[in-house]
């Protein structure tokens, strides 16, 4: 028997043993050849599935072998295609497809969920302004076995800062607020500050970039200064492992002010928590992340807009179509709101203690869904890119903020740093990583915007990955990937996971479109058959 005939019988024997696993040399070329030609369409006698279908094909192909090698080759091609059809259906999606990106993202999400033992986690991804994936894993309510869904509402914690920054930027555009004015212009009752006996000025621009010197939740100013000196001298561990990040986050939740249960009637009363405390640093000299500084910003926005801060933000949410983003209040009924969790000293999952967020509305007091956060990210990206359009696209609607405003608030500010990403710095209400590469053929950084959140019983991240500069400037904005992740467990660092997911979907949006090959209108040529046959010779 010839080598080609022996190959055919081995193939038939394998198909008779299994309809799913088949030896398949040159599978892609055969399948492509089979599908492009109507001559190779499946006959009625091969319409079955599973082992029976393969056995039928084997019998027919065996008979065809007695007629001649040419017909046997024909049956071999049909056999290969039919025996692989079920396996092809079970295979994962092709690389570069949306479903492939979803699978990778789902795996990344499951990994971080398993690693930290999170009860539930929700993700949302938008690509070029359209939501392409949203999914929940685990439970929003463990006790009642309520699963996480895309519309699950959770605390967004410090992602409230970019939201507040948007409202402040809008006031600035309308001429109601001056970034370089001292805070006393809007909140005259806030005490003037001194640092080492010298009078200093705190401006709004310093507040939004965490350069004001106002303390965070640590009340011991001397302790904060000493820690900053150690970090500056390089005594801080350079390599941030997942374990060190988790320990640092857990330590932060030891501060008493995280667990305030008192309800503050207005922002002015919440200022009393820190207004008389000394500054940690001279304003403008050093970075110190401070949620209290954003409480002061809330009071400034309230005075500049001449309306209650929460009313100002609710109007913003309505304008941005973020209808499920609301203040984190205990009394109102908020549909699909998750429960919040932590782990006790014995390592058991427990409900988080009750807290009231009225002391920090501007810096960490809202709840939302991943879908609302995607809308917000798209609005910001649209506003940022609208100024790059060519004349042919000027008929498009303007962004919520002007392109010049977006460039200002997304521009890195000197002397800042990013607690959750060593490569980045802080801008105005946003963390930012700039595009760059230090050495040839080594790691490249992508330009992206990010803000994480950590609250009692919750963790969050919002990340915006704009398109690479210079690509198709005439495309309709927004162009890029937006990722939002919410988790109902505290002390979970989600930024790295969000970046990996964003880069995976960015591969899809940058993939070259495949050029379809028209189907053959008749039988394949003899030369093509001979070429395929030659590839099988042993």
CA–CA separation, 49 and 2 (whole Å): 30
Q: For residue 195, give the 3-state DSSP assignment.
A: strand
| Nearest C-alpha neighbor of 431 from the set 452, 414, 446 | 452
Nearest to 367 by CA among 153, 150, 158: 153
Residue 155 phi, psi dihedral angles, 5° rounding: -65, 135
Report d(CA 85, CA 97) in Å as an integer.
20
How remote is the C-alpha of 63 from its chain's centroid? Answer: 57
Q: Which of 19, 134, 158, 460 is catalytic?
A: 158
Q: Which helix (H) or strand (E) holds 503?
A: helix 495-509
Instruction: Note whether 450 and 426 are within 8 A (CB).
Output: no
The kind and range of the H/E element at 361 are helix 361-364
242 Ramachandran zone, left/alpha/beta (phi>0; psi -120 to 50): alpha
| Residue 91: closest CA among 21, 13, 188 | 21
What angle do the packed helices 27-36 and 526-534 form, to 10 degrees? 160
Q: Tokens 């609250």 map to which residue?
A: 455
> Pairing mode, if any, of strands 120-127 and 431-433?
unpaired
Q: At what angle do helices 50-67 and 69-90 cross, to 10 degrees?
A: 160
Does 268 participate in catalysis according to the annotation? no
Packing angle, helices 50-67 and 3-17, rounded to 10 = 160
Cross-strand pairs, 520: 37
Q: What is the enclosing helix (H) or strand (E) of 8?
A: helix 3-17
Inter-residue contact 160 to 176 (CB < 8 Å): no
CA separation for the pair 459, 449 (Å, rounded): 18
Q: Which residues are catalytic?
A: 158
């Amino acid at each position: 028997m010839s080598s080609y005939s022996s190959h055919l019988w081995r193939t038939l024997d394998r198909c008779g043993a299994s309809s799913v696993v088949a030896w398949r040399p040159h599978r892609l070329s055969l399948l492509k050849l089979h599908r492009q030609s109507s001559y190779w369409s499946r006959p009625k006698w091969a319409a079955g599935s599973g082992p029976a279908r393969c056995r039928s094909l084997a019998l027919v192909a065996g008979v065809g072998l007695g007629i001649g090698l040419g017909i046997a080759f024909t049956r071999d091609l049909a056999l290969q295609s039919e025996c692989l059809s079920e396996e092809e259906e079970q295979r994962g999606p092709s690389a570069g497809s949306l479903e492939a990106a979803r699978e990778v993202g789902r795996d990344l999400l499951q990994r971080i969920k398993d690693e930290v033992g999170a009860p539930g986690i929700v993700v949302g991804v938008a690509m070029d302004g359209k939501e392409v994936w949203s999914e929940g894993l685990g439970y929003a309510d463990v006790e009642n076995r309520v699963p996480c869904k895309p519309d699950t509402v959770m605390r967004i914690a410090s992602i409230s800062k970019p939201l507040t920054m948007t409202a402040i930027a809008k006031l600035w555009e309308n001429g109601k607020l001056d970034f370089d004015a001292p805070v006393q212009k809007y909140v005259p009752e806030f005490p003037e500050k001194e640092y080492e006996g010298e009078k200093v000025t705190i401006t709004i621009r310093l507040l939004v970039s965490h350069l004001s010197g106002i303390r965070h939740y640590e009340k011991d100013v001397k302790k904060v200064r000493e820690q900053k000196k150690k970090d500056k001298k390089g005594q801080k561990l350079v390599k941030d492992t997942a374990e060190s990040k988790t320990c640092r986050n857990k330590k932060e939740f030891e501060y008493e002010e995280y667990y305030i249960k008192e309800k503050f009637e207005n922002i002015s009363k919440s200022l009393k928590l820190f207004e008389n405390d000394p500054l940690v640093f001279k304003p403008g000299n050093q970075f110190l992340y401070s949620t209290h500084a954003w409480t002061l910003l809330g009071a400034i926005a309230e005075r500049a807009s001449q309306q209650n801060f929460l009313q100002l933000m609710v109007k913003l949410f309505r304008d941005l179509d973020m209808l499920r983003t609301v203040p984190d209040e205990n009394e109102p009924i908020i549909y699909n709101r998750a429960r919040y969790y932590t782990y006790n000293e014995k390592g058991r999952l427990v409900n988080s203690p009750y807290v009231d967020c009225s002391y920090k509305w501007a810096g960490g007091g809202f709840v939302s869904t991943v879908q609302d956060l995607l809308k917000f990210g798209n609005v910001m990206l649209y506003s940022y890119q609208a100024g790059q359009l060519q004349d042919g696209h000027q008929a498009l609607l303007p962004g919520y903020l002007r392109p010049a405003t977006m460039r200002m608030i997304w521009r890195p500010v000197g002397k800042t740093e990013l607690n959750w990403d060593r490569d980045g710095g802080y801008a105005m209400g946003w963390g930012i990583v700039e595009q760059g590469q230090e050495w040839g053929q080594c790691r490249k950084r992508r330009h992206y915007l990010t803000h994480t959140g950590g609250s009692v019983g919750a963790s969050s991240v919002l990340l915006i990955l704009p398109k690479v500069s210079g690509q198709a400037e005439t495309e309709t904005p927004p162009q890029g990937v937006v990722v939002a992740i919410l988790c109902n467990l505290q002390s979970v660092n989600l930024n790295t996971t969000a970046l990996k997911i964003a880069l995976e979907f960015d591969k899809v949006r940058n993939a070259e479109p495949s050029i379809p090959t028209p189907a053959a209108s008749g039988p394949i040529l003899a030369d093509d058959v001979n070429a395929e046959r030659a590839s099988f010779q042993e």
